[in-house]
Structure 1
Amino acid sequence: MRCPSLFHSGLKYLHSAGILHRDIKPGNLLVNSNCLLKICDFGLARVEEPDPSRHMTQEVVTQYYRAPEVLMGCQHYTSSIDVWSVGCIFAELLGRRILFQAQSPIQQLDLITDLLGTPPLSAMASACEGARAHILRGPHKPPSLSVLYMLSDGATHEAVHLLCRMLVFDPAKRISGSDALSHPYLDEGRLRYHTCMCKCCYSVPSGRVYTRDFEPPAERPFSHNYEQSMHSVWQGKELIHRFITEHQQGKRVPLCINPQSAAFKTFIRSTAWHSSKVSRKEER
């Protein structure tokens, strides 16, 4: 199964750039016929907040894949919420059903504690008072992680071990995307991908030459300073048009709609018209 290794490879790159996706779910994962995976829809993504005193919204992640710290109203969280989401998807791949399918966030939290057991107080240190009281009000639950072996025949010891490292209640003890790549369960998928499908390794008459780093991190943290120069929708359209045009001039496949389509021609005319309108305003 190659997809889990690509999950973590993508997460390692995003998190090394300081980006939290905050909506990892099956609908935001694009997989082609070769099982190559790409993460999409960054509508809820944001740059990681290093200051723990700065509050972050809890209105993130589709409920079924929402980490317990978010469900419990934690006002600051890290990239570990994405790892939890990947763990939920991994379990869904093994069992062919949603692991925590609840009708409400409270029921979602109850399903999580049914599997992981009642968390210690240290794991709920950042939770809101209401969520902590709800957990402590109920009976003590022992963990029942052994049921993960019943997901399918693919739920081997290594698979369940990796799953248990991702589905940890305490985010500080949850495995990172980078460390998960070193788990034995992912060895075969990583090697198979780099043996025949990647672009970072190459073949010579004597055999295959592998890259030093199978999953390289981002070269630098993500910066959105370019957005500070945009003060209108039309400036944004101009940047998009310039980006598309520059990619068409090179050898890369265009990342836009069909250049021969009516929609593309309309987009160009609209952008050109608004650009000239903005220029006239600036001249005045």
Structure 2
Amino acid sequence: MGCVLGKSDAKEKESRRSSRRREENKQASEPDLTRVQNDGEREKKIGEIPAGDEGLLRPSASAPEFRLRTGGATTREGWPSWLVDVAGDAIKNWSPRRANTFEKLDKIGQGTYSNVYKARDLITGKVVALKKVRFDNLESETVAFVAREILILSRLNHPNVIKLEGLVISRMSSSLYLVLEYMEHDLAGLTAVQSVKFTEPQVKSFMKQLLSGLEHCHNNGVLHRDIKCSNLLIDDEGILKIADFGLASFYDPESKKPMTSRVVTLWYRPPELLLGATYYGPGVDLWSAGCILAELFVGKPIMRGRTEVEQLHKIFKLCGSPSEEYWKKSRLPNATLYKPQQPYKCCIAETFKEFPPSALALVETLLAIDPDARGSASAALNSEFFTTEPYPCEPSSLPKYPPSKEMDIKLRVEEARRQRDLGGKAHAVDGTRRVRVHERVGRAIPAPEANAELQVNLDVSQTDSILFLRYITMPNAILVTIFYNIIKKLPLSF
């Protein structure tokens, strides 16, 4: 009898241990989602945060990863709990889609934290763009950026602003997809095509659509903060839409809050941000629009600095340096570092003398050093540029082109570089002299990524000084060559 009871007890204990192991495995395979919280207040939604970047949501220290797998930490609708916490109002009328209901067709874009794919909705058959954002092993601020992008896109509704059509949750990976309208082109891809030369009515059509979209954003308290040609998408009907709101922010002109100056891609970044401004408004987007207006007439970016110092120097040489009143009024953090010793005069009119007079006047307004002098998107739409002949053409009358995006340019540049390198190796093998050929792929080339998340804009002089100290023991002939290259890179004296 004792043996029987002993065996029975052993079986019962083993059964309990098996149950515990199954429960532990289940918990391990379905990790809880940690609620996103603000520094000082739990369960505060991102929509309630002040417009400034100091209010970005950050996850708790105990949650380094944000997993989107379904399980105990999802709502009845199937949304991850953290997403409901930060964007509940924006998604309340949606149901989550699954990644296996879409078929990826091609990769059409790549950013710091995301990739963009052309895809087909297997339920409706519609072609869409999927913006994939991963949360494994990334900076915690990514969650806030994505949540804010969702909220901003849900607030905006305009023909010239990209539309958010839904969200997709991947069961197999820690990823979230934004379902967006698919557009065949971006403006960077079109301007880089050798055969494309926009007429004045076509330029007016693109700019009218850009400024109309910006007017809607600004009227709804949204700053885009990364207006550039590759973020302006165009479909086969000639409709332009502002896209990629990953760096966008809410703002309230009546209640100013500090924001980061590390936004806007370098070639389109206004001088106040380069000087460290943390209080700004719609003027940052209007400056970028002015750069694009001039670029559409010239056929290439007008100020292509390699560093922040060089970019600021190019701005001052073209647009003039700030007045003494501006320096005193703005009190910008980097004013003492970058203030020119000798003031520059504005030479926009001389540089772009071939522009139509009304276009030249609008460029001078939008590229004003003082952001208050740039006016508004509404004022720009009412300028002579749009109210005098030739008038903007209808978008549907724009020429039809094969699909072309900035990523296509990069691929062509990489292929040309690869072919050039292969050609150089062939010359080295057969003993002939190698001749350097300057490649030219299109009139425009992609701008360097220089945004808030990237710390890549180093001062050229600092970098070259390090190189000098590193190679100080080299022979004189090599040192002379190094000094010569340093002098060539440095901007002219301020």
TM-score bracket for this pair, using the shorter chain length: 0.5 to 0.7
Q: CA deviation at 1:5?
A: 0.8
Q: Quote the residue 2:338 is aligned against.
A: 134
Task: For residue 310 of structure 2, give the secondary structure of its aligned residue in structure 1.
Answer: helix
**Residue number among 185, 199, 221 corresponding to 2:385 in the alignment:** 185
Q: Tell me how far apart the structure 1 counterparts of residues 306 and 335 of structure 2 sit (CA, whole Å).
A: 17
TM-score using structure 1 length: 0.62
CA contact (8 A) 2:318 2:348 kept: yes
Do structure 1's residue 91 and structure 2's residue 314 form an aligned pair? no
Q: Of the two, which has the highest radius of gyration?
A: 2
Answer yes or no: is 1:173 the counterpart of 2:373: yes
What is residue 216 of structure 2 aligned with on the other side?
Answer: 13
Q: Structure 1 residues 168 and 52 mapped into 2: Cα distance closer, same or farther (>3 Å)?
A: farther
Label 1:54 to 1:65 Cα distance change in 2 as closer, same or farther (>3 A): same
The answer as to 2:313 corresponding to 1:110 is yes
Structure 1 pair 183–148 and aligned structure 2 pair: CA distance change class (3 A): farther
Q: Is the Cα–Cα contact under 8 Å of residues 238 and 396 in structure 2 kept in the other structure? A: no
Aligned to 1:30, the other structure's residue is in SS state strand
Q: Is the contact made by 1:75 and 1:126 (CA closer than 8 Å) also made in structure 2?
A: no
Distance 1:196 1:40 in 2: 22
Displacement of 1:145: 1.7
Say whether the 8 Å CA contact 1:72–1:132 is kept in structure 2: no
Q: Are residues 1:45 and 2:248 paired?
A: yes
Q: 1-side partners of 2:383 and 2:309: how far apart? A: 32
The DSSP-based 3-state class of the residue aligned with 2:360 is helix
The 1:189–1:180 alpha-carbon spacing in structure 2 relative to 1, beyond 3 Å, is farther
| Whole-Å separation in 2 of the counterparts to 1:56 and 1:191 | 36
SS in 2 for 1:102: coil
Query: Which residue of the partner structure matches residue 279 of structure 2?
Result: 76
Give yes or no for contact 1:30–1:37 (8 Å, CA) kept in 2. Answer: yes
Across the two proteins, how many residue pairs are aligned to each other?
193
User: Which structure features the higher share of strand residues?
Assistant: 2
2:357 matched residue in structure 1: 157
Unaligned runs of 5+ in 1: 198-284
Q: What's the offset of the Cα at 1:133?
A: 4.1
Is 1:57–2:276 an aligned residue pair?
Answer: no
Q: Distance in 2 between matches of 1:71 and 1:97?
A: 22
Counterpart amino acid of residue 71 in structure 1: L
Q: Among the aligned pairs, what percent are the same residue?
A: 33
Q: Structure 2 unaligned segments of length 5 or more: list them.
A: 1-201, 399-494
Distance 1:53 1:122, change over 3 A: farther
TM-score by length of 2: 0.37
Instruction: State how far apart, in whole Å, the 2-side matches of 1:129 and 1:58 are.
Output: 11
Q: Distance in 1 between matches of 2:279 and 2:349?
A: 31
Over aligned residues, Cα RMSD in angstroms?
A: 2.3
For 2:269 and 2:331, the matched residues in 1 are separated by 14
In the alignment, is the contact (CA less than 8 A) between 2:232 and 2:242 conserved in 1? Answer: yes
Deviation at 1:141, TM superposition (A): 1.4
* Deviating more after overlay: 80-89 vs 119-128: 119-128
